[in-house]
Amino acid sequence: MEPRPRSFYWLTAFFLLFVIFLYGPTITIGILSFQGPQGGLTFPMNGVSTYWFHNLFQEQAVGDIWGAFRRSFALGLMVMVATVAISVMAGLAFRKRFAGSGALFYLTIAALVIPSILVSLGVGLIFNQIGAKVHWASSGFGAQLTWTLPFGLLIMFAVFNRFDKRFEEAARDQGATPWQTIRHVVLPIIAPSVVGVALFGFSLSYDEFARTLLTAGSHNTLPLEIFGMTTNVTKPVIFALGTLTTVFSFLIIAVFLGTLWLLGKRRARRAG
């Protein structure tokens, strides 16, 4: 191998600094959430304890965190399933041009660039006018889809742009029906990306704030609950909550990455 140019070392240092910048604050609140009962929001640590985690579990200390967590989790799963199904179908649709496909594509991109608060406001206004009550599982669900679907579709585009059509042609030549081709050839090939779409669907929904702000109704999702806390909680209990939900996000990511790894291994075994 040729020797590394000097720029490599400068860039490595830059990259390391960037990673510290990216993760440093999160690690800091991870440490501070173990603050002693008398400790404050900043260093120094006033003893080490799990006091603030216990505090979270006491119902009266803060709002309805566990209810909010359950709702966010359920909503995340709903959004995940819908995002996967709708994105895969739309991804298949966009492989061939059809009348109006260009317009639909730009509408999807528009969903990505239109400020979230407008979606929140607009959906809230519509529900208000037709006399329906906003609820996280109806208006909140729909509003979040406008954020997850564009990502799902972009991932599907990326996959199908690199898709080798000869696999399908081979299946068709051997007499497979269109449905069989999709079920036994296309879906297995795109499976890893579908796992990626699912991860995006769940995580983006689980952390979404702006689009649920005016569409969740009287029962808050977790990000709304946390934001409510920021205005009146001045104790490390908020760090404990932040640490728990970040750990939860990391676990979810690990589950999905693990699934991807298993898929890859199974594929390698079959090929070998």
Partner 1 sequence: MKKSDTLRGWALASPLALVLLAFLLLPIAMIMVVSFWQATEFAIVPAFSLENYQFLFSSPVTYKVFWATLRYALITWALTLLIGFTVAYYLAFHIRSNTAQTALFLVCTIPFLTSNIIRMISWIPFLGRNGIANQTLIGMGVIEEPLEWLLYSDFSVILAFVHLYTLFMIVPIFNTMMRIDRALIEAARDNGASGWQILANVIIPLSKPGIMIGTIFVLTLVMGDFITVRFMSGSQSANVGRLISNDIALLQYPSASATSVVLLVTVLLIIGALMRFVNIRKEL
> Of 192-211, which residues contact partner 1 (CB under 8 A)?
199-200, 203-204, 206-207, 209-210
**Smallest gap, in angstroms, from Cβ of residue 96 to partner 1?**
5
User: Closer to partner 1 at the Cβ: 181 or 203?
Assistant: 203
Residue among 143 and 171 whose Cβ is closer to partner 1? 143
DSSP secondary structure of 75-92? HHHHHHHHHHHHHHHHHH
Q: Which of 20, 81, 109, 255 binds partner 1 (CB under 8 A)?
A: 109
CA distance 93 to 145: 18
Kindly state whether residue 189 participates in binding partner 1, applying the rule CB under 8 A.
no
Of residues 213 through 232, those in contact with partner 1 by CB under 8 A are 213-214, 223, 226-227, 230
111 contacts 152 by C-beta, under 8 angstroms: no
Fill in the per-residue mask, 141 to 180: x = in contact with partner 1 (CB under 8 A), - = not in contact.
-xx-xx--x---xx--xx--x-------------------
Least distance from partner 1 to the Cβ atom of residue 172, Å: 15
Instruction: Map residues 66-105 to x or -, x wherever contact with partner 1 holds by CB under 8 A.
Output: -------------------xxx-xx-xxx-xxxxxx--xx
Cis peptide, bond prior to residue 25, ω within 30 of zero: no
Regarding 12 and contact with partner 1 (CB under 8 A), the answer is yes
Residue nearer to partner 1 on the CB measure, 12 or 50: 12
Task: Look at the alpha carbons of 260, 90, 81, 215 in this order and tell me if their dihedral is positive or negative.
Answer: positive
Residue 268 is encoded by which pair of tokens? 């390698």
- Segment 242-261, which members bind partner 1 (CB under 8 A)? 242, 245-246, 249-250, 252-253, 257
Distance CA 79, CA 5 (A): 47
At position 29, the amino acid (one-letter code) is I
Strand partners, 184: none
Look at the alpha carbons of 236, 242, 248, 250 in this order and tell me if their dihedral is positive or negative.
negative
Number of residues near partner 1 (by CB under 8 A): 92
Q: Which of 3, 38, 60, 113 binds partner 1 (CB under 8 A)?
A: 113
Q: Exactly one of 63, 67, 122, 192 binds partner 1 (CB under 8 A); which one?
A: 122
Q: Residue 218 contacts by C-beta under 8 Å, 6 or more apart in sequence?
A: none
Please give the structure tokens belonging to residue 182: 């999709």
Q: Is 108 near partner 1 (CB under 8 A)?
A: yes
Distance set, CA 204 to CA 75, 76, 81, 119 (Å): 11, 8, 13, 15
CB 69 within 8 A of CB 219: no
Binding span for partner 1 by CB under 8 A among 58-66, 108-116, 186-194, 262-270: 108-116
